[in-house]
Structures are given as C-alpha cells and as structure tokens.
Amino acid sequence: MKFLKLFLFIIILLAIPVGVLLNMNLLFGGGSLITLGLFGILLYYTVKTIKDCIKKRNNRFNIILQIGVVLTTVVLFSKYRFFRFGDYPALVIIPLFFFMVLEYFAKSNNRDIKLITVSIIYLILFIPLFCFDFWGSPRRYIPNEWVNRYDVRDGSEIDLPHVFIYSETEQLSQKAYQLKSDGYYYEAMIIFQEAHKIEPKNPLLLFELSEFYARNNLLETAIALLDTAIMIDNTTVAFYNNRGLLHYKLKENNQAIADYLKAVQIDSTQLTLYANLALAYYYEKKFELVCESINKAEKLGLNMKAHKHLDKVRKRYCKFKT
C-alpha cells in the first residue's frame, strides 16, 4: 500500500513539469496534466495537514510548510491555467512560501523528502512568473495588463488619407508628430488633444489619440475613439486593424476577427491583417482558419522567422510547407 501511494504521488508530481513542457511546445494535454498534478498535490496536502493537526503527529515546521504548499498550489493553478483570481493573493503567498522554504531548510530537524521535492518544483515554477518568457507562459507575478495591456513595442508609420480643415490644426499636429518622434509621447498627446478640440470630427486626430490612449493602458477609451473614427470614415483599413488589435489585447477575439475581416474586405493585400487574423483564430481554437490565414500571409511575403509564435502554431497545426 505504501509503495502504491508513493507511486501515485510521483505520478501526480511529474504531471506538473510534463504538462508545462507540453504547453511550451503546443502539444495536446499540457493544461490537463498541470491541472491534474496541482489538484492531486492540493488534495494530498490538505488531507495530510488536517490529519497531522488532529493527531499532532508532525512538527510545526512541516505543518507550516504544508499549509504553504496548499496555498501556493492554488496560486500556481491560477497562474498556469490563466485565471485572474490568484493575482492579488500571489503578491503575498509567493514571497511567504519562499521564506517558509528557507526557514524549513534552516531550522527543521525532521525534513520530509516529499515536502522538499514539492517545494523545489514549486520554486522552479515561480521562475516563469518573473522571467523566462515562452509560448503559453503563465500569468506573470505582476500581470502585464496591470501596467501595459497594449504591449506593442514597435509601430509603423501609417499614411492616412485625411486632411486638416484649418491651418492651425495642421500646425499643432506637425508639432505633435515631432514630439512623438522625439519620444515625448505625453506632450504630443496634449498637443493632439488641442488639435482635436478644433477639429473634433477629423478621423486622423481620432486615430492618433486612440494610439496614445492605448499606450497609456486605456484600451477601452482607445476603442471608443476608433468607433467614432469609423463612423466618420468606414473605408480606412488602419482603423479596423487597430481596433481589432485592441479587442485582441482585451481577449475579445471574436470582435477582433470581425474587424480584421472587414479590413481584408477593404484591402486584401496587407499581410499583417492575415497574421493578426491567424492569432485571433488560434485563441478561438479555429485551427483550419488559422492555417488559411497563415498561408495567405506567407504568400504575401510574411517572414515566419520573425514571427516565432505564429511559426510554432504553423508547425503544430498546419501541414503545408513554405
């Protein structure tokens, strides 16, 4: 019986790192294995801790660390399965668990090999929460959407087919563009806001302001500005593409897909639209459409080596070769 319990414990424990490796390589079953392993550890140490407390059969260092394992298991589940309920508890539980482990190794005279093994694995699982980014990474210790939901590092200049009504507006915009190119984004936004007051229905100004609000983590406001721009001009690809990107960043994939498809209807020669579509389709698990979009993007000249995430998706789900 003891051998069987030990065997089951090892299987449950191994399920966690194996699941993480499967997720990293976009292989089926990774998430299920992580869930199974963490649930097994949670159940095991919850029952064991209750029994130890009732029968008073374990030292306090073991019991304290077991409680830490239970709490940390819940946090790791939320992080590796992309739930948000563990974000704020993690700010306390993860540092607390780290110090629990240090104290256990420093002061406990009756160390449990199972508890040590679980603790080491959990400490390793902490690493991707802070650094070491990979495909399918867990939610960060400080989730990115707290500070930068937009997360677009490089942008390209877009030549929009709109003109200014007043020379004053044009002069203000030129000044704002110069500030923007020099890296003074906040100052540029203030100038664009002044120009927008003069020409509130200029789609170009609405587009620029949307970009600034997005970079300031105000994605909903950025979408509202693009909504207005599209009501004024529903023929500009960039408006739909940017709004689709904002919806995608908010995990509103179906709205993103609708925007990208509308942009493709207007201009079917832009490879970026198909690349964006592929990512949105992927998160909706529409893999056949993912492959169609990647294929179209590649035919238009998309360099897959520069898009590592898409390349991994293509190798995993798409049979065609370039």
Residue reference for tokens 């540029």: 188
With bands split at pLDDT 50, 70 and 90, how would you rate the model's confidence at 155? low
What global pTM score does this model have?
Answer: 0.78
Q: Who has greater pLDDT, 175 or 26?
A: 175
Q: How many CA atoms lie within 13 A of 188 on its CB side?
A: 22
Looking at the predicted structure, is the pLDDT value of residue 58 above 90?
Answer: no
**C-alpha distance from residue 1 to each of 6, 8, 113, 230, 278 (Å):** 9, 11, 18, 68, 51
Check: CB of residue 172 under 8 Å from CB of residue 191: yes
Could you tell me the two tokens for 72?
Answer: 């940390």
DSSP codes joined into one string, 61-106: HHHHHHHHHHHHHHHHHHHHTT-STTHHHHHHHHHHHHHHHHHHHH
The answer on pLDDT for 321 being more than 70 is no
Amino acid residing at 22 = L
The span from the CA of 136 to the CA of 20, in Å, is: 9
Q: How confident is the model at residue 308 (pLDDT cuts 50, 70, 90)?
A: confident
pLDDT above 70 for 154: no
Q: How far apart are CA 23 and CA 81, in angstroms?
A: 11
* The residue to which tokens 């893999």 are assigned: 287
Q: Who has greater pLDDT, 319 or 311?
A: 311
Q: What is the pLDDT of residues 272-299, one digit of tens each?
A: 999 999 999 999 999 999 999 999 999 9
pLDDT at 322: 45
Q: Please, what's the largest Cα pairwise distance for the chain? A: 86
Averaged confidence pLDDT in the chain:
91
**How many whole angstroms separate alpha carbon 292 and alpha carbon 265?**
16
CA distance 225 to 209: 7
Q: 81-91 pLDDT, tens per residue?
A: 999 999 999 99
Q: How far apart are CA 274 and CA 307, in angstroms?
A: 13
CA distance 320 to 23: 23
